[in-house]
Chains A and B, each alone.
Chain A
Amino acid sequence: MKKILYIVLLMFIIVSAGCTEEDFDSKYQDPSKVTTVSISNLMVGVFQKAKDYDTHTYNRYFGFDSQFVGKYAQTFGYTYSSSMYTPGYIPYIDSQWDNLYSALTQYRKMEELYNSENESQKIQDEAFMLAAKVQLYDYFSATVDIFGDMPFSKACTLPLTNDVEKSYAPYDKAEDIYKTILDDLKNIAPKFRTVTIPRNFTSQDFINNGDVDKWERYANSLRFRLALRVSSQGELAETGRAAVKEILENPDTYPLIDEQENNVYIVNQKSGQLNFTAGQGLGDWVTNRQASGAVIDRMLSNGNYDMDDTGNPNTGIYVKGTDDPRILLYYNPVSITNKYSGNKDENRYLGTDLTVSDEATEYYNSQAVDAFGNTGFSQITQKGFFWENDKFDMLIMSSPEIHFLKAEAYLMGYGVQADENKAKEEFIKAVSQSIKLYYYYDLNSTGENSRKYDSPTDDEINLFAESKWVDTKYENKQDAIITQKWLHFAITASREAWSDLRRTGYPSGLVFPEVAGTIPNVPTRWKYPTTEMDYNPYYKDVQSEDTYYTKLFWAK
């Protein structure tokens, strides 16, 4: 009996003393998460977080481009309602904000690691730092364009310090953020020429695949875009113009994305995490993909199909040789029974128009039909050149924009001497490159409904571009440049189009009726996410400015 007693007591001791600290510690950590990270992997982390901003996929096309900035720029169609200035799905605006700060958080961690490295390690890791920063600045500046002042210099410390109180970040002035980015980009761009390119930089860089020439052009082009944006007016006008001058007068020091081959984009890998479908999200609601009458008006010589019957029987018709050939790629024409004449009008481009009566809108929306059986207004072509084309690259920055920027700089004499001839030259290059780029994607499209049109000849394109330079429908040459840029951006970069509209007031003639809803006029900025209002104590500093109608510092 005693034996048993001893055995049992021994058991007690063994079992209860059997768990050491080590046992607890080894089980504390999630085995499928890592505790150490590398700079190279974090750079890809930054790219991942910026992906929704870069790519033409769901989060942008369901809620952002089609229902938010695309409405304010009128690059996307929508019909009159008292809530028409309310974005379709606000959570996607918030998610762009969240993703931006998550990208910045990744970058903060990179900085922390980088600063703790010795010199030789730093040399190895510099390329990652530079590329991550360019991408981050692109995303950050575009987000500033929407919200204005933002937490920036003191933002995103929580995961590094775990100090909740100190993690709340004050708001930097939009001007200061721009200034920092402009100055920094100037320093960053040349470094790409000398930077050591580690082997894994090429394999990790899913934007430019390690092509540092492209990165340099991207950095310069971004600086150029931002410099020109602030050149028109506002506190940074002088800074901006100086940068424009510097870039344009030293093309060898500051090479830009001049040609299609310089374009910066993410290649669609067609599987896994880099599997994108262009235009995904347009399909969810018909109202996400309606053609804008304003766009059609500016692409066709006879304008958008006339819903109010003012007498021109040729409205909505594409005239080859005269009209913008990109319209064939952008939208589906529809067949319409005219409300007044009862005639069957075939092959017409019918975009939404906020100036016609609700009744006419309703009538045409309910009976027009396209070749694919879609009822209503002309739509962005499903399975066409853009939407559901697996070969459509996820364009981040492309050459037509650079030439539009140059054209404007020369025309307006921002920094450089005003020179209309140079402006014209750049304008024609810009329009030509835009048409060619989009026809290139149509030709290579995997979309079932892509028409694989023959691209217009160089002569035809030039003639078209020349005609737009002298088109009297424009208020002036700046209107021509901005309008053509706006048409270039119509489907792929509505946020840039909106910024141009706010900066210059062009394209001229866009009509934004006042409505009775909670947002009565078209906003000039967007309000901060509710998480900022609710949880950032510094929000009170910007609260008074947090309206839909506060203007960005560079806005007209």
Chain B
Amino acid sequence: MQMKTRLRFFVFIGCMLAFMMPICISAQETKSITGYVLDNTGEPLIGASVMVKDTSYGVITDVDGKFTLNAPSDAVLSFSYIGFTPKEINLSRRKKKGVMRVRLMENTQELKEVVVTAMGIQKDTKKLGYAVSTISSEDIIKAGATNFASAMYGKAPGVRINQTQGGSSGAVSINVRGLTSITGNNQPIIIMDGVPIRNGGTGKSTDFAEFGNDGRIRSNGLVDINPEDIESITILKGASATALYGSEAANGAVVITSKRAKAGKVTVDFTAQVMANLPAYLPEVQTEYGPGTYNINYSDYEKQTGGFYQRTYNGQTYKSLRSTTQSFGPKYDGSEVLYWDGKVRPYLPQTENPWNELFRTGWTQNYSVAISQGTENSSNRFSYTFTDEIPNALNGSYNKHNFKLTGSYKIGKPLTVEYSLNYIIQDITNRPQTSLGLYGSFSNAFSTFLDIPYLKKSYVTSLGYKNTFVGEGGDATLTPDEAWAYNPGYFTGVRDMLWNMYYQNSKETENRILGMVRPTFQITNWLNLRAQIATDITDVKQTLEKSTERPNSLYDPSGSFQNINRRYDIVYGDVMLNFNYDIKRFNIAATAGWTGKYETMNNISVATNGGLATENWFDLNASRYQATSSQQRMELLKTGYMGTLGLGWDDYLYLELTARQERSSTLKDQSFFYPSANMSFLFSEAFKMPHWWNYGKLRASYGIVGNSPEAYAANIVYEQGSDNGFTWNTIPTSIGNENIRPEKKYEYEIGFESKFFNNRLGIDVSYYNNIVKDQILSTPQPSSSGAKYVLMNVGEVANNGWDIALSATPVLTKDFRWDLTATYGVYRNKVIKLADGVPYLEISNLGGSGAKIQAVAGQPMGDIYTQVPQVNENGEFLVSDNGLYLNQTELQKVGNINPDGVGGLYNSFSYKNFSLDFSIDFRIGGDVINEMNQYATALGLTPESLKYRDTEHGGLSYYYPDNNNSGGVPVQVDPTTTAGPNGEYIYHDGLILPGVVASTGEPNNRIIPAGYYYNMTYNWGTNSEQLTYANSVFDNTYVKLRELNLSYRIPSKAIQKIGMTNLTVSVFGRNLFYFYKALKNYDAESSVGTSWSSQAVVGNSTAATRSFGFAIRASF
């Protein structure tokens, strides 16, 4: 009671003062005041702020520390400067006249920044002996990122973000300091308010987010977290920083701190944001040549007509085009040809870029309201965010409701209870499909001769079945009048894509609840006990309704119905006893605690079998055969005892030791110990530094962290299956190992951080060096040993690198401020060894072994291998008798997927109430395998494949003697020649591959048609002697303007009347353009999945986007 009364009194006085001040000011005349602001040594302070108290009027000191301003004679001037204790001078009480000399005292207290470290322990940054990167709320929400991870591009050194395309429902991966695990997890642990939450990856069947390969872009757990609710994100990178997390911390930790209410009256924050997502960076398709094959395969009619094809339809012969997915046909000439709709059309491209017909502009709307209030004994914040997205795919929807309640209560004097509840509901209809089927498959490719608008109208029959064509391969149909005239070969993919999009509906509802309660009991002022219990429950229901494709009256039933229920729960608890005691200049901080985490997964799927016996009845009872069901279960328990001991000396030297003893249910009867140590030395405190060197710290740390095997990987078990009354057991070909240990990462790190020029320039540099031993590898065995793979602790991987962050405020005047941060992370990775006798490990295999990503001992992880042509001792390529290159028998290394460095540049300008921010991020080096380019070039679809196709594109002219296209040796002629000596047809699409003929040693002079070259050289598989993926392995360096934001804060005067404290409007853009992009014709980020190997493959993605948005933020 007494407390409350006192508080009311202060509030009253405060209000009185606030009301009186403006009145006082207006009653006085003004005068000009000149002065200098100096530090305690007498040096001028540049850029110090001089304000007339209780007004928004003020100036900034110049290079001499000088200022001049007009102020009422009785005004109070306030002087402030970062790192110095502010000072106020009441002009009316000032006795001295003339130039003012104001001395500000340095205040190290002001520099005290607190970060949240492992296990939710808050620490003064100067005590940290390891590197952390912190990103503030503002940087996360400014430019319309739909999740916090994609807002971190380039903002933290050594942290690489990779966002999957596909909008709000796509996964994002975070990679801290390179790759540590060859086949295991490389994602950091995500900690929200001290509690580990579900993240998971996509790409593997065991990943929670993924079930089966349904061809849709999947999500992972971190994208659920609402960026609007985040106060800050701290990234713990090194082993020492994360050692308390033991076997989950080998890849760093992302520590999220949620917004909480601040003490004071009720505040309401409102945000509305609308963003248009335009499909961008779509691959270009050549528009000069239509469907057809190259001249070696020409029929007589094609020879006569230069590639047109003769077709009989309704008893009449027509000039038409070959049924093929290849686009090596005749040049578009506008002549009349029979189209597959049965009509005669001019032979011209039907669309400039067919991709535009297959995607639309997407829209993301985001509305958020947060109400918060803090009092002496409690604080509460409630927020609601609604997101609605229209995806770029032609069909589908996404919306999300996010409720979050956070707060704390003081119960009695010693006990504080903090709590948090987050409820997320997501409804997703038809997740965006991956489009590799279209980009990167031979049978589904299509050319610019495909009339997509017409196909959209005709792909479904009037009876609701998938339309077909007449003739060979065409399905029997109840509507023969609607069927197409012939199968052109190039519409199947798009027809099926449209069908799948509109007639195979997936509906998902995801409910996720994250709850946490954390009582802290302050036993004495130097000892407290904190406990927390938290849960993260995800429940997903999905139905998959595939419509009947063909009439049941003519065919076996088609279509299917599937119902999937996925559940993933985490229960987490910990108890920590914290001790903090100062004895004169000596400080001891220690903790002891226990933590436990229990995860369960239960996925159940039931599905019809053998089609829907009743057409389009989506129910298990519609199943033709007995419906099938499957289940996937997982349980995982991990507990650890831990302790830390921190010693501080005189506020400049700190040492911290941590330890964790861990037990996990994924390991059999084993317990592991993870120790670490770190030290911080503030030389700026210990020694007298020049006045411009404000802050300086050296740090060093060493730690051991782990990466535990996946649940059940170590099990020695048998498979059991049954069918038709037969039951079988089998020993799997990939077997476990009871003695498996976690992967262990041993890392040391040294760092240096400093601030200069009144903290206007800051630098933070870390060097780290780690070795990850006991890599858990499913080690290949000869099958004759009894297994193809056995789980073993064998490999070793080493990383070292630098993380550099620079922050500066190059310009700071009263109205204008420019802040800049730059980050750069560079790392080197090396596979030191794999298992004995195992020279390499295949990580992924593309195109039927045509290209492989491998870990090779002695090399960085992620070497790309493919077939390459043979060369002779002079370095010349060897050419086969057929005019194509002759490959080496073994696959050769042609690249590596690891970037040399990634970084970013973040600029923030503010002028009066305007501010302009932009962030640029870049990646240097690192190769990708572009599967789309490979197959599209093989089919003559890429602009690249135009080269040599005619004289203008550098093609040679030639004829085949006696028009013997398949057997004859081409004879080169002058481009102006109209016919060969015996009237042969002249072709202009020849090229001669530079090299020497393998069989003769003579320089190659065999002319080959361009289409033949592309189709043979770029292709799928390994069996052709000239096939290579080397031409589709590209450097993926890029520099991208990731975010641009322009905002205007409405002057407070204007809005105060309506009770607002802030009103800001802004326009922003995301993924606006590339300053530089090495990968031609495709987006630099066209990969899918969160695993490092899938990120090295361009393909299997959907449209990239360029977004423009508008936002309003208001506070009351």
CB within 8 Å of B: which residues of A? Answer: 1, 4-5, 8-9, 11-12, 15-16, 18-19, 21, 23-38, 40-42, 44-45, 47-49, 82-83, 86-91, 97-98, 100-102, 104-106, 108-109, 150-151, 155-160, 162, 164, 167-169, 203-204, 206, 269, 271-274, 357-359, 362-363, 366-367, 372-374, 516-518, 529, 531-532, 534-537, 539
Contacts and interface: CB of A to CB of B under 8 A. Distances in A.
Interface in B759-800: 779-788, 790, 792
Interface string B703-734: 00000000110111111110111111111010
B170 interface: no
Nearest to B668: A28
A23 B598 CA distance: 10
Nearest to B670: A24
B639 to A, nearest CB: 5
B715 A98 contact: no
A8 B781 CA distance: 53
A271 B611 CA distance: 12
Nearest to A531: B782
B971 interface: no
B637 A19 contact: yes
Interface of B: 297, 299, 412-415, 471-473, 519, 521, 523, 529, 531, 573, 575, 577, 594, 596, 609-610, 625-626, 631-637, 639, 641, 663-669, 711-712, 714-721, 723-731, 733, 735, 737-738, 779-788, 790, 792, 837-839, 848-849, 880-882, 889, 964, 966-968, 999, 1021-1025
B299 A48 contact: no
Contact of A357 (B415, B790, B967): B967
9 contacts: A15-B596, A19-B637, A28-B714, A30-B634, A34-B719, A42-B728, A98-B733, A362-B966, A516-B880
A478 B837 CA distance: 49
Nearest to A536: B782
A196 B839 CA distance: 51
Given A8-B531, A204-B727, A33 B735 contact: no
Given A19-B596, A105-B787, A536-B782, A162 B716 contact: yes
Given A89-B848, A91-B849, A83 B299 contact: no
B838 A88 contact: no
A374 B577 CA distance: 79
Nearest to B609: A271
Given A89-B848, A98-B733, A33 B715 contact: yes
B888 to A, nearest CB: 10
Q: Which 5 A-B pairs have the closest CB atoms?
A: A373-B472, A44-B728, A359-B967, A33-B717, A362-B966
Contacts of A27: 635-637, 665, 711
Contacts of A206: 724, 726
Given A33-B719, A34-B718, A274-B723, A159 B786 contact: yes
B1023 A29 contact: no
Contacts of A539: 782
Contacts of B610: 271
Contacts of B594: 12, 15-16
A274 B722 CA distance: 10
Contacts of B665: 23-25, 27-28
A97 B639 contact: no
A44 B715 CA distance: 22
A520 to B, nearest CB: 12
A164 B781 contact: yes
Given A16-B575, A98-B733, A531-B788, A83 B1024 contact: yes
B718 A167 contact: no
A28 B790 contact: no
A15 B530 CA distance: 13
A452 to B, nearest CB: 20
B728 to A, nearest CB: 3
Contacts of A8: 519, 521, 529, 531
Contact of A532 (B667, B728, B782, B1024): B782
B639 A19 contact: yes
A158 B784 CA distance: 9
Contacts of A33: 712, 715, 717-720
Contacts of A357: 967
Contacts of B719: 33-34
A459 B510 CA distance: 72
A207 to B, nearest CB: 10
Nearest to B785: A167
Given A12-B575, A30-B715, A532 B848 contact: no
Contact of A34 (B596, B717, B785, B999): B717
A123 to B, nearest CB: 21
Contacts of A373: 471-473
Contacts of B414: 1, 4
Contact of A82 (B609, B718, B729, B882): B882
A159 B735 contact: yes
A171 to B, nearest CB: 9
A32 B786 contact: no
A27 B711 CA distance: 9
Nearest to B713: A30
A32 B737 CA distance: 18
A532 B1023 contact: no
A426 B635 CA distance: 64
A101 B596 CA distance: 43
Contacts of B637: 19, 23-24, 27
Contacts of A168: 782, 784-785
Nearest to B523: A5
A151 B716 CA distance: 24
Question: Max chain A CB contacts within 10 Å: which of B609, B719, B787, B999?
Answer: B787
Given A15-B596, A162-B716, A162-B738, 11 more contacts: A16-B596, A16-B639, A24-B637, A30-B715, A31-B633, A105-B787, A167-B785, A271-B626, A529-B783, A535-B785, A536-B785
B784 A150 contact: yes
A41 to B, nearest CB: 4
Among the interface residues B523, B880, B966, which one has the most CB atoms of the partner chain A within 10 A?
Answer: B966
Contact of A273 (B724, B839, B1021): B724
Given A164-B790, A272-B723, A274-B724, A158 B730 contact: no
B783 A98 contact: yes
A82 B634 CA distance: 52
A421 B720 CA distance: 53
Contacts of A88: 1023
B837 A83 contact: no
A531 B840 CA distance: 11
Contacts of A26: 635
Contacts of A30: 633-634, 711-712, 715, 717
Among A29, A30, A366, find the residue whose CB has the most chain B CB atoms closer than 10 A.
A30
A159 B715 CA distance: 12
Contacts of A16: 575, 594, 596, 639, 641
Contacts of A100: 783
Given A16-B641, A27-B665, A204-B726, A32 B784 contact: no
B837 A41 contact: no
Contacts of A19: 596, 637, 639, 663
B787 A158 contact: yes
A377 to B, nearest CB: 15
A87 B849 CA distance: 14
A367 to B, nearest CB: 7
A372 B472 CA distance: 7
Nearest to B531: A11
A41 B728 contact: yes
Contacts of A18: 596
Contacts of A372: 472
A362 B717 contact: no
Contact of A83 (B626, B735, B1023): B1023
B783 A97 contact: yes
Contacts of A9: 529
A104 B730 CA distance: 11
Contacts of B472: 372-374
